[in-house]
Amino acid sequence: MSSPTISTTLPSSDNNSTSLNPMTTGVKIAAYLVVLIFSLIGNSLLVAIVYKNANKRMRTPSNYFIVNMALADILVVAYAVPQNIVLTVYNFRWLVGGVAGQILCRFSFFVTQLPILVSTGSLLIVALDRYFLVFYPMKRIITIQIARRIIITVWSFTAVFTAPLFALIAVVEVPPGILYCAIEFKKLGLAVSYFLFCYTTIIAIPLVIIIALYVAIGFKISRAAPPGNQLPSTQERRERITHKVLAMLSAIVAALILFRLPLVIGLIVCFSRFHHLCGKIDLMFITWFLTLTNSTLNPWIYFIFNDKFRHGARLILEKFFPCCFKGVNGVEAIQNSTHQMVGLPVEHSETVHQR
């Protein structure tokens, strides 16, 4: 399904009155601004933590994939949100005509769809990396060099999948001279096949694989026998950390299901016998807004559940806002939250549960 930036079904006259309601428009714009602010702050901070190597332990393959996802989220939010605000104000009318309008229309669809697919691909690679680390802790299957190649491959692969959009999208003129950026009617059949194949291959199937991998990881962690001769306090700490890891994995899976699957469901609705629902702007807004919300939530999930990212964020923020950290004892050491966990060596246990 397309974003509301470029609609697959042109707004009907009934929708026009609703979309131009000042209160409805104001609520939508406010929601977009909240997503924009929190997404840029969270994802930019995530990138800065790894780039600055804030606590000297952040440059790992898994964190590189997380940064790749954060950059994709920044791209889609920074481009799509301002554009959607403008189109919301103008009732989704396309304001640029001529050759420039055609180029901008097609590029807009491409640049908003590509990062979403890249983000999903990055989440899949992160899940695979964690799976390898949990089930094969003594092997370094994905190194830094391999991670960089995988990132390039993900962007290249998704770019190839997204390229057909340039041929399917165009500026359409509707009497009396109103422009919309939409799928060309004569290419609607091709568009149906393309979207079903693309979203099934790059979103639906990866989501199923990600869920399966995290479920397997959760079972492995929860059922792993602790090392022998542990003190009660050590065992209690290990169980507490295990629950934190499982909670983080559950949050990631829940966010994927709640905020990404509606996009796939919306696609099915648009090209089924219920296609009349796709013409409702509020449905398009909600579906796309949920996708943007997922891009906003991802970094905060890591800050909440990952001690290293949380500590790295504090190291960076206290440089800009030292007054907010008065009374805190300097730079605290991060809890080595994975020592003796699931019986793995220390150097691997860190990577498995705090990356």
What pLDDT is attached to residue 180? Answer: 85
What pLDDT is stored for residue 325 in this prediction? Answer: 64
Question: Residue 340 pLDDT > 50, yes or no?
Answer: no
What is the C-alpha to C-alpha distance for residues 29 and 256, in angstroms, rounded to an integer? 24
Number of structural domains the chain divides into: 1
Query: Is 296 a member of any domain?
Result: yes
Q: Is the pTM of this model over 0.85?
A: no
38 φ/ψ sector (left φ>0, alpha ψ -120 to 50, else beta): alpha
Phi, psi (5° rounding) for residue 182?
-150, 175
> Which are the contacts of 196, defined by CB distance < 8 A and separation ≥ 6?
267, 271
Backbone CA torsion sign across 49, 52, 54, 60: positive
Distances (CA, A) of 209 to 29, 70, 124, 179, 184: 35, 21, 7, 40, 34
* pLDDT score, position 326: 62
Answer yes or no: is 131 within a domain.
yes
Peptide bond into 61 cis (omega under 30): no
- The per-residue pLDDT for 71 is 93
Mean pLDDT across the stretch 139-156? 91
What is the predicted pLDDT for the residue at 6? 44
* pLDDT score of 242: 63
- Lowest-pLDDT choice from 51-60, 165-174, 295-304, 313-322: 51-60
Model pLDDT, residue 152? 94
What does the block give as tokens for 85? 């605000």
Cα 278 to the center of its chain, rounded Å:
23
Instruction: Look at residue 271 in the predicted model and tell me its pLDDT.
Output: 62
pLDDT band at residue 256 under the 50/70/90 scheme? confident
Residue 329 above 90 pLDDT?
no
Domain assignment present for residue 134? The answer is yes
pLDDT for position 331: 40
- Supply the range of the domain harboring residue 255: 22-224+237-320
* Helical ranges in the chain per DSSP H: 13-19, 22-51, 61-89, 98-135, 144-162, 165-168, 188-199, 205-223, 232-270, 281-305, 307-320, 346-354
The model's pLDDT over 162-208, given as tens digits with 9 standing for 90+, comes to 898 888 888 888 877 888 888 777 777 787 788 778 878 887 888 88
Is 60 or 222 the better-scoring residue by pLDDT? Answer: 60
Q: pLDDT higher for 119 or 282?
A: 119
- pLDDT bin (cut points 50, 70, 90) of residue 234 is low
Q: What Cα–Cα distance (Å) separates residue 10 from each residue in 6, 86, 100, 259?
A: 9, 17, 21, 24
**Residue linked to tokens 């291959």:** 201
Any idea what the CATH number is for the domain that residue 250 is in? Answer: 1.20.1070.10
Residue 256 is assigned to a structural domain of this protein: yes
- Within a domain: 53: yes
Q: How far apart are the first and last CA of the chain?
A: 32
Output the pLDDT for position 10: 54
For 248, other C-beta atoms within 10 Å of its C-beta total 18
pLDDT digits (tens, 9 = 90+) for 27-73: 999 999 999 999 999 999 999 998 888 667 788 888 899 899 999 99
Amino acid found at 62? S
CA nearest neighbour of 74 among 22, 124, 122, 112: 112
Note whether residue 197 is domain-resident. Answer: yes
Residue 336 lies in a domain: no
Whether residue 230 is contained in a domain is answered as no
The answer to whether residue 156 scores a pLDDT higher than 80 is yes
Residue 14's pLDDT band, with cuts at 50, 70 and 90, is very low
